[in-house]
Amino acid sequence: MASGVSDAFRHCMDELRAGDRERYLSVLFAPAERRPALAALYAYNLELARVRDRVSEPMPGEIRLQWWQEVVSGEREGEGRQHPVAALLLDAVDACGLSRPALANMAEARIFDLYDDPMPDRTALEGYLGETVSALFQMSAQILDPSAAAGAADAAGHAGVAYGIAGLMGHAPLHRARNQVYVPGDVLAAAGTDAAAWLAGEDRDAMARVTTILVSLVHEHLSRAETGLGGLPASLKPAFLPLAVVKPLAARLEKAGAAHAREPVTLSPLRLHWLYLRRVLAGAGG
């Protein structure tokens, strides 16, 4: 590995170890020759996810996301080569045939994070997760085995929704503190509440019903993702290692009920390691 690539890879891994432990572990369990590209892709996702936390108002965030869109689309490739994450990601685009439009769409979808508009309905949520989380699963498959990745599209779609909803639920207290509502409006309505009441957090029975509905959606999409993975070659399985956390996290969310909206629901680093190792040994992740 050339010195510049090695430094960029180390930077990406440091960022992932600190900010996205699950994807960090995914890189470690991947074949060595695929790790730099995966680390770059996951570090790019982390950069996008952090934009809201790094700006005090939406406009600077939009500017940052626009910069990333222009880097991955090739308009600012020269500038991107000076950024360790962007440089390694652009190498992955060239080496693995990653879709530039899909990468740009990941950044564009994150504009939603900058504002406090409520998620209108389930279709909108699945679209948001499709362009962010599902795309990440699909491009991971592309890195691992370009010739077989197309067959993973359906599994990636469902994996992204299952993993994404579970993750959003786990971080619901943070979102509520920022007046963000990722719970779809039609789900809130089905639970007998609305966005304003969700933020107020006073109707615990309705919040518990929201939890039940969302956990059901997680299980529905997880089941369909796992079914789709059954026919895929082993070369693609490491792309879906993060699914190891979905069922245990959903169980904790279900147990927490309405409380998941007040206290974060997470898994310990030790539990993460064990879940990943168990999935690998079972043949579902590598």
Cβ atoms 29, 286 nearer than 8 A:
yes
How far apart (Å, rounded) are the C-alpha atoms in residues 110 and 59?
13
- The conformation of residue 119, written as its DSSP 8-state character, comes to P
Percent of the chain past pLDDT 90, that is, above it, reads: 96
| CA–CA gap between residue 155 and residue 146 (Å, rounded) | 16
Separation between Cα atoms, residue 192 and residue 75, nearest integer Å: 47
Q: Kindly report the number of other CB atoms within 10 A of residue 120's CB atom.
A: 12
| pLDDT single digits (tens) 73-109 | 999 999 999 999 999 999 999 999 999 999 999 999 9
Smallest CA-to-CA distance from 149 within 262, 76, 41, 271 is with 41
**What pLDDT digit, counting tens, does each position of 124-139 carry?**
999 999 999 999 999 9
Q: Where are the domains of the chain?
A: 1-115, 117-286
**pLDDT (tens digit, 9 = 90+) per residue, 27-39?**
999 999 999 999 9
189 pLDDT above the threshold of 60: yes
Identify the pLDDT of residue 251: 98
Is the pLDDT confidence value at 42 over 90? yes
**Span between the terminal Cα atoms of the chain, in Å:** 23
pTM: 0.96
The angle at the Cα of 152, spanning 172 to 212, to the nearest 5 degrees, equals 30
Q: Structurally, what CATH architecture does the domain formed by 117-286 represent?
A: Orthogonal Bundle (1.10)
What is the average pLDDT score of the chain?
A: 96
Q: Is the pLDDT of residue 1 over 80?
A: no
CA distance 87 to 8: 8
Cβ neighbours around 268 below 10 Å, total: 8
Task: Give the tokens for residue 236.
Answer: 């693609």
pLDDT (0 to 100) of residue 4:
64
Please identify which residue in the block is written with the tokens 């790019």.
44
pLDDT in tens, 232-276: 999 999 999 999 999 999 999 999 999 999 999 999 999 999 999
